[in-house]
Structure 1
Amino acid sequence: MSLISTAAPLRRRLLVPALAALSLFTAVVPAAGSAQAHQAGLRCPHSACGSLTVGTPSLAPPATEPCTAKEQVVCRIREMTPAERLEARDVRVRYHQLLMDMGRRRCELEKAGASPETVARELVEMRNQAKDIARAGMTREQVEALEQRNREKYGNPLGPTADQLYAKLGSWEQVVESAGRTSASVDGELGLAYKACACAH
């Protein structure tokens, strides 16, 4: 078997763990005005927090044409087989369950009068401790490679610290927003529709 014929399947096998890692460790700068919305006071629900509609990802064969999507992860999903997309969807569902837990905790802290810094630090810690989600489907070698990358980039095998995100984003309010942000484009590719907690807006 040639190297050319084995390269594509090998690359696709790496896409699911890569997608999981990107879900947890990619900070997104929130839209302008989010800090003001945070400071104005946010409505905290008393029971359910967030919702997730789970559908079926595309059953199309792996894409071979150049991808024009703005997000690299979307292009990677389109290169997957239908079975790999289902696996990636299940990993993504676990990620959204984490986001809903984080949303509930954010509501509790804000209702109790916690400062934006306190909220940000706890949410970042919750995300970084969710190692099982980031490592879903990874081999031992892939886990070691991910942790080494994080050590080199952040000095921490789990990912960026709250202080590093603060230095990058400029305020604790923005760290709070970025910790729970998700990509609607990625969700859509995997057949998901996510609605964040009411107090996250």
Structure 2
Amino acid sequence: MSLNTSPNGLRSLARRVVPALLVAQVALLPLQSASATALTAHPCASSAGCGSVVVAPVSQAAPEHGDCTSPEPVVCLIRSETPQQREVARAQRMRYHDLLEDMERTECAMRAEGRSEEDIARALVQMRNDAKDVVRAGMTPEQVAELEARNQKKYGNPLGPTADQLYLKYGSWEKVSEAATRSSAAVDRELGLEFRHCSCDVLQAA
């Protein structure tokens, strides 16, 4: 099937795909503005300059419909959105960052308990996949089917890669944990965000 590259076609694609890609790893939270989310989610982390940090305003440029210069498909889709849609995408991205903070907080607690690298990695991957499952409840049936079909084809699992699959890919449980808590810098930057890892002291105080 050919891709509809007309302006209306790209806008329709963005509306269907960007929310699925941005929130597929995020637990549903009440909708807030991006700035409110940054200030209220974890005050200690925000005051320490880590977590989800707003570094630039959302682009007010008109939607782009020509050739995209970014190698990141999600970045191209964000650029095809309106400024209002980008604001929504940023709020969704910040919720994803909140999930990463929670995962890192769990990692810190497990390390303090003396748990193994494998136990930690498996717990983080499970948290990430559990969040994907929760988010599907707020998606349209079409978005769910599209996302799950992509994951099923790529990983043999509608929720995404398992811990064992990631171990085979990266070769160590430490790298699996790193991958599980990673945020795409290109996507974050496109939405005027940075995700900055917090120390365990900051996370446990938040």
Within a 5 Å distance, the mapping from 1:79-90 to structure 2 comes to: 79-90=80-91
Q: Which residue of 2 aligns with 1:27?
A: none
- How many Å separate the matches in 2 of 1:22 and 1:189? 18
Partner residue in 1 for 2:196: 195
Instruction: Give the counterpart letter for 2:18 in structure 1.
Output: V
* Structure 1 vs Structure 2 CA RMSD: 2.6
Three-state SS of the structure 1 residue aligned to 2:53 is strand
Structure 2: give runs of 5+ residues left out of the alignment: 27-43, 201-206
Matched, 1:127 2:128: yes
5+ residue gaps, structure 1: 25-46
Secondary structure of 2:194's counterpart equals strand
Answer with 55-64 or 101-110: which moved more. 55-64
Change beyond 3 A, Cα 1:56–1:132? farther
CA distance in 1, matches of 2:198, 2:120: 15
Q: CA deviation at 1:161?
A: 0.6
Q: Deviation per CA, 1:14-58, whole angstroms, max 9, x where unpaired?
A: 23224326767xxxxxxxxxxxxxxxxxxxxxx749422235310
Whole-angstrom CA distance in 2 between matches of 1:169 and 1:143: 28
Quickly say closer, same or farther: Cα 1:17–1:94, change in 2 above 3 A: same
- How many residues were matched structurally? 175
Is the deviation greater in 83-92 or in 55-64? 55-64
1:67 to 1:148, Cα distance in 2 relative to 1, 3 A: closer
Percent identity of equivalent pairs: 52
Q: Which residue of 1 aligns with 2:10?
A: 8
Q: How high is the TM-score relative to the length of structure 1?
A: 0.76
Residue identity opposite 2:106 in structure 1: R
* Contact 1:184–1:193 (8 Å) recurs in 2: yes
SS of equivalent residue, structure 1 residue 185: helix
